[in-house]
Structures are given as structure tokens and as C-alpha cells.
Chains A and B, each alone.
Chain A
Amino acid sequence: MGLKDKLHNISEKTKGTNWETTFGAIHTLFYTPKETTHSGGHLRGADDLKRTMTNVILPLIPVLIFAMFNVGFQQDVAINGFPEGMSFFSGDFWNFDNFSVGALKLLPLIIVSYVIGLGIEVIFATINKHEVEEGYFVTGMLVPLIVPIDTPLWMLAVAVIFGVVIGKEVFGGTGMNILNPALTIRAFLFFAYPTWMSGDKVWVTGAKAMQGTPDAISGETILGSLAQGKEFVYSTWDMFYGFVPGSVGETSALLILLGGLYLIFTKVGSWRIMLSAVVGALVMGLIFNAVVDAGWINEGSKFYSLMSTEFWHHLLIGGLAFGIVFMATDPVTASQTNKGKWIYGFLIGFISILIRVFNPAYPEGVMLAILLMNVFAPTIDHYIVQGNVKKRLKRLKAKTA
């Protein structure tokens, strides 16, 4: 008896019991069900939600592997100094020491994120008697990539519980939530444990533990340096490749760009949102550059260094690129109409840079910008849909008049 028959027999046995949901989730991981069409059309397309979600995870895997190397690399840099003029394939970066340091730090984060998050999903699915939905596949991968590397595991666990229960399940689960669950988790961490989420001690693994010792190390993100008007050593290419400190997965603009292109090519991610968000960020950057050029703000201002940052550098620094490609495009929390997506994306880019410049205490604006626009997305859609409704009424009026 093959695996197929064995699993089929178990699924027959669990039918109607509390284990049906849990086993169903495992069963469908191995085999797509033998369910056939019952109503309406007799054929269905090849894509299901599992396939869509895996295709969001695929471009995240290079980002994750890069992050593992970068975690080790940043620790090395903090101790031994930054090797300047590195090419993308430099051996200073891609070596086993770096990888092992990073992998040992990152794997527990990933495991905690998935075990806790999927556990909650399974519990809710069992209580509500529906299938385990795939939303957390992606959330669970995003969460470790958007937190600082030294985030304690218990803290992550608490945040995941909050994010999944309050951010998603209370609304009815995948497809019903208003806020992006991954960002809800990030926001919870940020507001509950701010000292672990910003400053110059959290971006390099071990920095916090060594604080106050003679060997103390630190690493500031580029945004952090800019917000405080400090100099930094990284070249534009370093920023593009991602050899810089930051949240685990946000640093490599190159891999995020490739991931974004993959999402657009596969039609899994909305190109409208990505493009308009990039445009929005560039427009805001240009406005600030113009303000600086016009001399309205001088070097003494605390906003000066971020405002004078060349407008397109904003796309390379901080989590903006990651947010635009992997967070803003979440179809459930984004605007759901094609026209609305243009507005939604544009405002995310625009507001991200706005917050970034005017909020030196926490210069990463993209998280708040996306959460804000998540809240406004239904409103945007409402007006777009009303436009269609009005067109229909107008047609009727033209007829009767």
C-alpha cells in the first residue's frame, strides 16, 4: 500500500473528528485533494492558494540565505572593521563562518515563528471547523526577516500570538484581516519592547549582550546614522548589495529587486502597487531634495541629513524596498481594485519617506505607512467602486432624460 492509500485511509478515519482539520492540513501538503467540481463550471485553473503562497516564499529564500551570511558578516565588521570596495561575490562576505553565525541565530527565529503561528492557525481552524488556510505560510517567513537579529525568542512568540490572534483570527482568519499580520507582529514588538527594536545595539548579533564590557560592539543602520546626522562608511553599491546592518532580511536591495521582478512575472504580486509605491517614494524624496536646494532648511536642522539624502537612495536604505515588494502587495490588506492599487501604492511610498524624514526617533517609516494605508485601503476601494456605481446611475439618467 503506497503513501497515497495510507493517507487516504487515515483521512477517512479522521473525518468528523477534531483531528480532521490538522490531518487535512498535513494530507494536502503531500497530495492535492481528489475533490472534483460540483457546481458551475466543470473545470478549474491550475492555481490554488497554496501555489500562490509558495510563489511568494520562493523569492524570499535567496533573501533569507543572504541574511544568514549578513548576520555573521555584520558581527565580523563590528569587531574587525568594514572592508571597503567589496564586490558582490567577495569572500569576505560569502564564507562559512559568517553563514554559521547567521544560521544559528536565524533558524530558531524561523522555527518559533512557524510553530507558534501555525499552531494558532490550526487551533482556530479546528474550533471553527474549516481548513487550515495558507496565509501564515508567508507571514511566518516574513516575520523573522523584519525583526532585528537579536530579538529574544519569547518576545517573538508573544508578538506572533498577538499578531495572529488580534491581527487576523478575530476578523475571521485569512482573507478577512484588515492589517498585514506580519507588520502587526512587527508593530507590537516595536511598541512593546522599543529598546530591543531600535538604537545601535540591536542590529549586530551579540551587541546587546556585550554592552558595557570592554569588547562592546555596536552597529547603526544607515537610517539611524542619517537621523542623527552622523557619517557612515557604506558606498551606494554596499547599500544596493546589502552589506549593511538592518533588520534581518531588509538589507539587500538587489535580491529584493529580483524578488519583486519574480512576483510581477508570475503575476502573484501586483505590479501596480510596487510601481506606484516606488514612484511615491521618489516623488517625496524629490520634494525634500527641492526643499533643501531651495535653502529652506540648513545644515543645523535635525531633518537636514535625511532630507538631503539623494531621492533615489531612499529606495536602497532601510526596509522600504522590502516593505514595498513583500508587505504592501499582500492582496488581502491592500486595495482590491486595480485603480485603488495605484493610489494605495503611491501613498505608501510617499508617506514612508515623510515619516522617515520627520521622525528621527524611529526613522523607519515603511511599517507605519503600510499599516496606515491598510486601514485606508477599504476607503479607497469604496470610492473607486462608487465611481462605477455612479457611472451606472448616469447611464440610466441619460436614458430617462
Chain B
Amino acid sequence: MSKDIRIKKGLDIKLKGESEKVTENAISSNVYTLRPEDFHSIIPKLSIKVGAKLKAGEAVLFNKANEEMKFSSPVSGEVIDIIRGEKRKILAVKIQADKEQQFFDFGAKDPKTMKADAIKSHLLAAGCWPFIMQRPYAVIANPTKTPKAIFVSGYASSPLAADYDYVLAGKEKELQAAVTALSKLTSGEVHVSVGEKSNSPLSVLSDITLHKVSGPHPSGNVGTQIAQIDPINKGEVVWTVAPQDLVIIGELLLTGKFNAERIIALAGSFVTSPKYYKTKIGSSISSIVDGKLNEGNSRIISGNVLTGTTQNLKGVLGYYNNMVTVIPEGDDYEFFGWTIPVFNKISTSRALTFSWLFPNKKFDLNTNTNGEHRAFVVTGNYEDVFPLDIFPMQILKSCMYKDLDEMEQLGMYEVAPEDFALTEFVCVSKQPHQEIIRKGLDLMLKEIG
């Protein structure tokens, strides 16, 4: 049953530095890095030792809790370093890439004729399972469960996001193979959403239910769409997959190769000429941004400005990210910043802030918090940017005082940290909403499971 999703509550953060729709090849990285911290709540175990030679797709790590779940090498090459932290926790596995890339052959499959169990073990073995996330808890899906539905958001509404219509163009075959496979894993449907006026390759697929989305961010967040289409109840599980990861799953099924290649957007006001680049998961940040940034103190983010992680030139393109954003760092004092009229920053109030006068202006925002951390004081402003039928401040407070019953009743099963990115942005008290929700979800996962 197709359904149009119209979101009214929300906020489009319009920033300078949108990527021009031109794709270039990024310099190939010499060293690729897998970071277990990308796989939230998983305890990784090593499948290999330093010096091992790998083909692309061969397992580097596996999940301690479920040994079948593998995490693959994005390239063929030699494991040159394993970096460990406290208590010998694995922080990163570095792989030096070969000149000639070799792929491990998992064998081409036809998803139409495969059974659910066969698809599951195929994806687990080939390292494609980590692309499938689940809610509740916003972690990698538990393969022993059957979700009531699978959601794919093909509409990117976050600031400066890579345009899915553009990066997915020409990938119809891979996408089709992937959604056909996914449709066997759920008792319900595979819900795919696209923008209202899009010509996305996703909209021509079969074995899916298509939804058209319109409205401001967070209309493109998969959590917003789940709430509109088929909200999660206690005891239910849904899975979500990002479109760029569908392509990798699809290619595995069609060719038997784990090809970690993806088109990413390099965006932000600090990028000299923002464009799209073809690169691979685990590439070093410097291979993507070298020589493409303005001079000065900047922050490099793997992902978008609302949910991405801070990186530096030695950092890595995250496992789930399809963009790199570079914005100015805001580590400077501002004279009377709390009282002078503000024209160059975004605000949802009109308290001597004038962004409401320029609804289409693109802003050059920096990472300054624009004020100090305070207790929750102002009420009602979160609700204006929060489209879920959940009380945002109440659920945040319940996470802070760790009342599991209340967290459950208020709707924690339905949310992920990214759903609170906008309430965090508008928060007058500068509370770390996403961190509060993440800790709350982790607590529930530990206590309730």
C-alpha cells in the first residue's frame, strides 16, 4: 500500500558548499582502515593476523556474539597494522592495498530462487550483513529475528546530503537484486521512499512498496518514514538499509564480488570546488580531500553535519557514510555574541536573530556551540522541528534519569540518535541530545535486549 509522506515539522539547514553533480575518481588510498567503532555495540574478534594477505571481501573481523557475522576487507592487500586501545580493544585494522585488486569470489546468485536462510548466510559470510541495521536500538540487525518490514529511505534531506537520484543512477540492476533478496527476509514488505519530484532509479523497482516523501528535514530520515508508514511497537523489529549499501549488496548477489566502491559527495563551505568522488569504504580522508580545501582551521566530518563523525586528515571514510563535509571550526570568542542581532546564523526563534527574513539564504555555519551548556529551560521549541509522535524533552529526561519503564512507554523503541539531531541543533540549553539517546538505547539493549 503506497502512501505519500508529507512532513510539516522540521527544519532545512541550508548551507554553503553543495556538491556540483560531477563525479571524479578520488586518488586511490594506499592504506584502507576498518574501524570497529563504526559497528555500534558489536564486540569484534580478529579473523586474521598482521601480515595476512587478503582478497577484497575476505573477512577481517567477526562478531563475538555471532561468529557467522563477518566484516570484510574493502580491498585486496596485506594487513599491516592492528591498532589497539585500552584493554586490548581493537581500534583499527589497516590494510595496505595491492596495485591489482583481486576479489574473493562468493559466487553469483539469483535472489529470486533463493530461500531466506540461504540469503542470510550468503550476506553474513560476504560481509554485507553489517549494512542492515535494526530498530529498536539502532544497531546492526540481529540475523536470528525476522523483521516486520524493511525500510529504505531514498530521499536525502539532511544538510548538503549526496543526492541519491544522482549517485544511484545506472544502478537499477544491483538495487533490484538487493531489494528482491531483502523482500525474502521480512514477513512484511520492503518500503522504499523517494523524493516527491525525483527520478530515482529506486522508483522503478519491483518487490517493493514505493512512497513519495516531501517536506523539510527530517523527512528523509528513515525513522520519520517508519513512524508514518508502520510505527514500531514493543516486541517488533524493523530493519533499515541505506541505498548506497543496497548497491554493494546487489553487486555481491549479481557478480559474487564484494565491491566496496561508492560515490560520495565532498561538500561544505571549506571545500574549494565541491563535487562527487568515486572512492571506497575505509579510504583515508587525505586521499579524498588533499588539495581540495581552503586554507584555515576546519573540521572534517565523515558523514553529514548533523550525524557524522569528526575526522582529521589521517582519518577514514566511515563504513556507512556517503559524504565528507568540511566546515570551518568555530573555536573563537564572539564579542557580545549572546545579545547582538544575528544575521549570519540559523535560528528558529526571532529573538534578535534574523534568519527568518531569509528563508532561502545559504549559511556558512561553524562548529561553535553559540553558548554554554545549561539545564533544560525553554519548552516547545523541540516540537516544532520534531515530526514523530513522541514527547522529545520528556524522553530525553527519561534517558537521563535512566527510568527504563518510562523510556519504553515514551517510545524509545522507535527512535535512533539521528532523529534527535534537529532538536539538538535548536536546543537553547545546548544539551547533547544524540549522545543522551544513544546512551539510553545502549542501556535498554543491555538491560532488556
Contact = CB atoms under 8 A, between A and B. Distances in A.
Interface stretch (B253-261, B275-283, B336-344): B336-344
B374 A175 contact: yes
Interface in B153-192: 159
Interface stretch (B58-66, B206-214, B243-251, B324-332): B324-332
Interface in A316-337: 331-332, 334, 336-337
Contacts of B434: 39-41
B424 A46 contact: no
Interface string B336-371: 111100100111111111010000000001111111
Interface stretch (A113-121, A150-158, A264-272): A264-272
Given A42-B305, A336-B379, A131 B425 contact: no
Contacts of A45: 345-348, 370, 425-428
A178 to B, nearest CB: 14
Interface stretch (A213-221, A291-299, A387-395): A387-395
Contacts of B377: 49, 52, 135, 174-175, 331-332
Given A46-B370, A268-B351, A175 B375 contact: yes
A43 B306 contact: yes
Given A46-B353, A47-B353, A388-B391, A40 B417 contact: yes
A43 B308 CA distance: 11
B434 to A, nearest CB: 3
Contacts of A392: 233, 409, 411
Contacts of B308: 42
B371 A40 contact: no
Interface string A169-206: 00011111000000000000000000000000000000
A7 B334 CA distance: 12
A265 B357 CA distance: 13
A48 B334 contact: no
A36 to B, nearest CB: 4
Interface string A15-53: 000000000000011111111111111111111111110
A396 B230 CA distance: 11
A125 B277 CA distance: 51
Given A36-B369, A338-B380, A44 B425 contact: yes
Given A47-B349, A47-B428, A49-B428, A34 B333 contact: yes
Contacts of B109: none
A392 B307 CA distance: 27
A66 B339 CA distance: 23
B389 A51 contact: no
B375 A133 contact: yes
B116 interface: no
Given A51-B351, A52-B351, A42 B327 contact: yes
A313 interface: no
Nearest to A8: B333
A336 B370 contact: no
A272 B384 CA distance: 14
Contacts of B329: 36
A40 B433 contact: yes
Interface residues of A, number: 62
B349 A389 contact: no
Nearest to B420: A40
A341 interface: yes
Nearest to A131: B372
A39 B333 contact: no
A43 B378 contact: no
A278 B339 CA distance: 31
B301 interface: yes
Contacts of A381: 394
Contacts of A34: 330-333, 368
A385 B379 contact: no
Contacts of A174: 374-375, 377
A24 to B, nearest CB: 8
Contacts of A47: 347-349, 351, 353, 370-371, 426, 428
Interface in A335-354: 336-338, 341
Interface residues of B, number: 78
B367 A37 contact: yes
A399 to B, nearest CB: 6
A52 B370 CA distance: 12
B231 interface: yes
A196 B391 CA distance: 45
B299 A42 contact: yes
B338 A32 contact: yes
Counting chain B CB atoms within 10 Å of each CB, the highest count among A28, A265, A336 belongs to A336
B348 A267 contact: yes
B226 to A, nearest CB: 13
B68 interface: no
Contacts of B351: 47, 51-52, 54-55, 266-268
Contact of B371 (A38, A51, A175, A391): A51
Contact of A341 (B330, B337, B339, B380): B380
B368 A41 contact: no
A31 B375 contact: no
Nearest to A24: B372
Nearest to B332: A34
Contacts of A332: 377
Nearest to B429: A49
B195 to A, nearest CB: 23
A7 to B, nearest CB: 8
Interface in A126-176: 131, 133-135, 172-176
A384 to B, nearest CB: 8
Given A51-B352, A336-B379, A396-B234, A39 B345 contact: no
A133 B377 CA distance: 10
Contact of A36 (B307, B330, B420): B330
A399 B390 CA distance: 19
Contacts of B332: 34
B428 A52 contact: yes
B393 interface: yes
A134 B231 CA distance: 39
Contacts of B417: 40
Nearest to B383: A338
B237 interface: no
B428 A39 contact: no
Contacts of A46: 342, 345-347, 353, 355, 370
Contacts of B425: 41, 43-45
B8 interface: no
A41 B307 contact: yes
Given A41-B424, A42-B306, A267-B381, A49 B13 contact: no
B407 to A, nearest CB: 11
Could you say which of B307, B367, B428 has the most chain A C-beta atoms within 10 Å of its C-beta? B428
B371 A50 contact: yes
Contacts of B376: 175
Given A43-B305, A331-B377, A388-B410, A32 B333 contact: yes
7 contacts: A4-B333, A32-B370, A33-B371, A40-B424, A46-B342, A337-B379, A381-B394
Given A42-B301, A48-B371, 19 more contacts: A7-B333, A32-B368, A32-B371, A37-B369, A40-B420, A40-B424, A40-B434, A44-B424, A45-B348, A47-B428, A48-B338, A51-B338, A51-B353, A52-B428, A172-B375, A268-B349, A332-B377, A392-B233, A399-B236
Report the 8 A-B pairs with minimum CB-CB distance, sorted nearest first: A48-B371, A175-B375, A32-B337, A40-B434, A46-B345, A31-B333, A50-B338, A46-B347
